[in-house]
Amino acid sequence: MKIHQEQIDIERVGVQTENSFTIKTSAAAFDILSAGLYTDPIAAIIRELSCNAYDSHVAANKVDTPFQIHLPNSLEPFLSIRDFGIGLSDDDVLHLYTTYFESTKTDSNDFIGARGLGSKSPFSYSKSYEVISRFDGVVRSYHMFINEHGIPDVVKMYTNPTSDENGLEVKIGIDPSDFSQVLNKTAATLKHFTVKPTIVGALHFEFDKLPTNTIDGDDWMAYDSSTSHYNTKFTVVQGNVQYKVNMNQMRDDLTNDELSFFNHMHMVGYFNIGDLDTAANREEIRYDPQTKKVLVKFIRRVLKEITSIVIDRCGNYDTYWEACAELDKLSSNIFGHKSALYSIIQAADITNPMLARYVDQQGLVQIPKMLKRHSIYTYQMNRSWTKKVYSRERTVKEFEPTSSTVILLNDVKSGGVARMIAYGKDHPEVSRFMLITSFDWIFSEADKIDTPNHADYPQVEYDEIVEAMGHPKVHSLSELCPRIKKEKVPRTFKAFSYSHMDWIGYHRRVVWKKFDVDIDSGGIFFVLKHGSSIFAIHDKKEKSIHWETDSTESNIKHLAKLVNHTLGEDKYNHHDVRGVSISTYNKIKNDPNWINAFEVIKDGLYQVADQITTIHRTNASIGCFGVINSIKNTDCRDELKKLLKTSTFKNVTAEAVADWNVIGFDAAYYSFCSKMHNQLNINTTNVDVKPYFTYNDFEKYSMFPILETLPTEGPDFSKVVDYITLMDEQK
C-alpha cells in the first residue's frame, strides 16, 4: 500500500548546525516494535500473516487461489500460515524479511502491507517461530528467535531440494490454553477476506457469518442490528481488514443529523487499499485530514443513497399501513431508532403522500375517538418465559403499525382468544393481534336525528376505522384462525398420599404429599384432616379414626388389602389409597370408580371377623406355649392329626389346625381389622379375642414349658407328639 507522505517545504534561516534523529538498535526498541505494538497478539498474528499471504498471491497473479492455515490441536500444537505465492530467496529472508520497516509494497495499492512490521508480529506472542521458504526448487528452514541480548535473531536450519511450488510458511507454537482463542479469532478476523483460506487441523470450522443484508449499495451494507458484534455501529473494510470507526473523531466534520444517523445505524463500508490511512499496528484507522475527508464524502453519499432507497421502497406499497410496517421494520432493524429514519425522510423532497402522512403522524395511526357500533382490543402475545400467554387492553388511542401486527374482524361467537393463541404459536413472527368486534347499538329517536344514515352506520363506522388505520388487510377471525377442536381435559382433584415420617419438635408427624389425581383413574379414598388423623364420613357425620403415627404406612397397606379381600381380587395396593378433603369427598362420593374406605371397613369387617378371632386365639396360644407356631409346617399338622380323638390338645387346637391354610400368618393385617372393627363399633360386641384354651386346659401336659425350648421343626417335633400321646394314654 502506498504510504501517504506529506511533502513539506522548509526554509532554513540562521542555521548553525543540523543533525537528523536516529533510532538506536536496542532490546527496548525491538520489544516496542514487536510485543508492544499490538493490543491483541493472537488476532494480530492471524491478520498480519494472512495479509502477507494474500499479498504474495497478488504478486504471483494467484489472487483467486486460497492460502492455507493450520489451526493448533492436541497432536499438532502450532499455528501455521502458508501461501503459494512468489516465495523468498535465501538473501531475501536473511536481509529483507528480517529488516524492520523494509518492504517492497510501498509503491502499489495492490498490496495490503507496506511498513515491514507485520511479518515480525509472531514476536508479540512467542520468543521464537519458524519460517519455511520454498523458492525455485529449494526449501529452506529458518529459526527466528529473541537472543540473549533481547535482539531478534535468525539462523538457517536446513536446505533441501523440493518439488513443491514456491511460497512462504510461518509456523508458531501455541499454548494449549489458547487453542480456542486462535480458532475463534481466525473465524472473526478473516470473515471479510474475499478469498477465504483453506483451514486444516480443525474439524467443523466455520468463518463468522457476514451480517444479514437488508439494504446495500455498491460499496456499503446496512444490516440488522441484532447481528452486530461490534462496539461501534460503523465499520470499514480495507484490504480485507475491518476497522471500527470512532464517530467522535468525526464530530467536527459532520452535522448533528449525520452523526445521529451513523451512531444509530449498523453499517459496513468497503474501501480500496490506500483510500484510508491506518495505524502502524493495523488495528485502527488514522484520522488524518485525508482519511477524514474520504470518510465524510462516503457518509454523505451513503445518506443520499439510503434516502433514495427508503423512498423507493415506500412507493411500492399501496396503503399507508403497509408503508408504516415497512418503515417500522427499517427503523427497528437497521437504523435502531426512529429519529434517524425521520431525519432521512424529513430531509428529502417528499412527494409521496404516504411518507408525508408518516412524518405528520410520526409513524402512528389513530382510532376514531367515538365508536358506537365497534370495539377494538389489542392482544399482545407474550414470547418471554411467563405463564401469561397474552395481555389484553382496549385500543382507544393511537398506536404504531408494525409488520408483526395482524388485524382481525371478529366473526365468531366464542373461542376467539384460543384461536389467536394457537395461531400465534404457529407463527412466531406475529406479536400482536387487533380484534375489531361489532355490537348492537339501539338508536334513540335523538340519535336517529343526529345520525341520518343510522341504518348504514355500522358499515360507515367500520370504513372509518379501516381508513384511520391506513387501510390494513383485515382478516376474518374464522378464516385466519380455524376452529380449534377442544380436547378433553382430564378432570382432576387435589389428593394426598403418605410420604414419610418427620419430627416436629419432640413429636413425630406424618408428612402427606399433595398432588393432582385424575378423577377417572379410580382408587380408594378417605377423608384426611388434622395431620395424621383420619375422619371417615358416613351418614353426613364424621367418624374419627385415630391411627398411631408410626403405624400409618402399614395401616394404609392393610386398608388396600381389606378392600381386595372384600372384592375377592388383588386389584389395589397402598399407592391407590388417597386422602381427600371434605369438598373433594362430596365430588367423588358417588363415583363408581372410587371406593369409600369407611364403607369398606364398616361392611367388609363382617367377612373377616371370624378369621380375626381365630388368628388372635392362635396367636395367644403361640405366646403361651411356643408349640402352635409349628402348625404352619405341613408335616407337623399331619402328625397332630394322628393323635387320638380323645386328645385334649387335638380337640382344643382342631379349628386352628384346620383354618391355617385359609388364614395365613398375617397377624398385623388381622390386628388392623380387629382394631377398626372395635373402634367403629360396627356391632354391639367387640370381636372376641379370647383364646380357645387357657393354661388350665393343659394341666395334664405339665412338661410343655420344658418342651418349648426344643426345636419344633422336622423330626424333633415327634418328641412333642410322643409326649402328648403318652399323656393322653395315661388318662
Q: 77 is written with which cell numbers?
A: 500444537
Predicted confidence (pLDDT) at residue 414 exceeds the cutoff of 70: yes
Residue 349's pLDDT is what?
62
Reported as a pLDDT band with limits 50, 70 and 90, residue 141 is: very high
Predicted confidence (pLDDT) at residue 78 exceeds the cutoff of 50: yes
Reported as a pLDDT band with limits 50, 70 and 90, residue 29 is: confident
* Gyration radius (Cα) of the chain, Å: 48
Which residues are bridge partners to 407 per DSSP?
434, 474
Greater confidence (730 vs 150) lies with 150
Could you give the 3-state DSSP secondary structure of residue 611?
helix
Residue 674's pLDDT is what?
77
- Give the residue-averaged pLDDT of 591-601: 86
Residue 112's pLDDT is what?
58
Amino acid identity for residue 415 in this structure: G
Tens of pLDDT along 161-195?
Answer: 999 999 999 999 999 999 999 999 999 999 999 89
Average pLDDT, the chain: 78
Greater confidence (654 vs 274) lies with 274
Pairwise CA distance, residues 79 & 71, whole Å? 5
Give the pairing of strands 474-476 and 405-409.
parallel
Tens of pLDDT along 126-136?
Answer: 999 999 999 99
- Provide the 10 A C-beta neighbour count for residue 114: 24
The number of C-alpha atoms within 13 Å of 97 and in the hemisphere containing its C-beta is 25
Greater confidence (81 vs 620) lies with 81
- Give the residue-averaged pLDDT of 300-315: 81
Angle at 198 between CA 196 and CA 203, to 5 degrees: 115
Reported as a pLDDT band with limits 50, 70 and 90, residue 368 is: confident
Residue 230's pLDDT is what?
47
Reported as a pLDDT band with limits 50, 70 and 90, residue 630 is: low
Nearest to 431 by CA among 397, 405, 457, 462: 405
Pairwise CA distance, residues 38 & 65, whole Å? 29
Pairwise CA distance, residues 478 & 418, whole Å? 12
Residue 333's pLDDT is what?
64
Predicted confidence (pLDDT) at residue 632 exceeds the cutoff of 60: no
Greater confidence (226 vs 567) lies with 567
Residue 514's pLDDT is what?
85
* 30-39, 240-249, 594-603, range with the lowest pLDDT: 30-39
E strand map for 192-258: 198-200, 213-216, 220-223, 234-238, 241-244
Model confidence, pTM = 0.56
Q: Report in angstroms the alpha-carbon separations of 333 from 260, 384, 513.
A: 16, 20, 51
Question: Quick one: which H or E segment has residue 535?
Answer: strand 533-538
Pairwise CA distance, residues 203 & 536, whole Å? 69
Reported as a pLDDT band with limits 50, 70 and 90, residue 292 is: very high
Predicted confidence (pLDDT) at residue 687 exceeds the cutoff of 70: no
Pairwise CA distance, residues 167 & 26, whole Å? 31
Could you give the 3-state DSSP secondary structure of residue 278?
strand
Q: How far apart are the first and last CA of the chain?
A: 134
Share of the chain above pLDDT 70, in %: 76
Tens of pLDDT along 41-57?
Answer: 999 999 989 988 988 89
Question: Quick one: which H or E segment has residue 304?
Answer: helix 289-314
Residue 143's pLDDT is what?
92
* 384-388, 471-475, 634-638, range with the lowest pLDDT: 384-388
Predicted confidence (pLDDT) at residue 262 exceeds the cutoff of 90: no
Give the pairing of strands 432-438 and 374-381.
antiparallel
Angle at 131 between CA 130 and CA 134, to 5 degrees: 140
SS3 track for 431-486: CEEEEEEECCCCCCHHHHHHCCCHHHHHHHHHHHHHHHCCCCCEEEHHHHCCCCCC
Does residue 527 contact residue 579 with C-beta atoms inside 8 Å? yes
Amino acid identity for residue 225 in this structure: S
Predicted confidence (pLDDT) at residue 485 exceeds the cutoff of 90: no
Nearest to 306 by CA among 276, 323, 327: 327
CATH 3.30.565.10 occupies which residues in the chain?
Answer: 27-200
Pairwise CA distance, residues 309 & 303, whole Å? 10
DSSP notation for 353-410:
HHHHHHHHTTT-B---S--SSEEEEEEEE--SS-S--EEEEE--S-B---TTEEEEE-
Angle at 45 between CA 42 and CA 47, to 5 degrees: 105
Residue 532's pLDDT is what?
46
Reported as a pLDDT band with limits 50, 70 and 90, residue 343 is: low
Pairwise CA distance, residues 68 & 74, whole Å? 19
Residue 409's pLDDT is what?
92
Residue 647's pLDDT is what?
81
- Give the residue-averaged pLDDT of 698-720: 63
- Give the residue-averaged pLDDT of 196-212: 87
Which residues are bridge partners to 134 per DSSP?
139, 167
98-101: long-range contacts (C-beta < 8 A, 24 or more apart)?
Answer: 98/144, 98/152, 98/154, 100/30, 100/33
Predicted confidence (pLDDT) at residue 62 exceeds the cutoff of 80: yes
Share of the chain above pLDDT 90, in %: 17
Predicted confidence (pLDDT) at residue 510 exceeds the cutoff of 70: yes
**CATH top-level class for 27-200?**
alpha beta
Predicted confidence (pLDDT) at residue 228 exceeds the cutoff of 50: no
Predicted confidence (pLDDT) at residue 284 exceeds the cutoff of 70: yes
Q: 472 is written with which cell numbers?
A: 390494513
Pairwise CA distance, residues 627 & 618, whole Å? 10
- Give the residue-averaged pLDDT of 392-414: 86
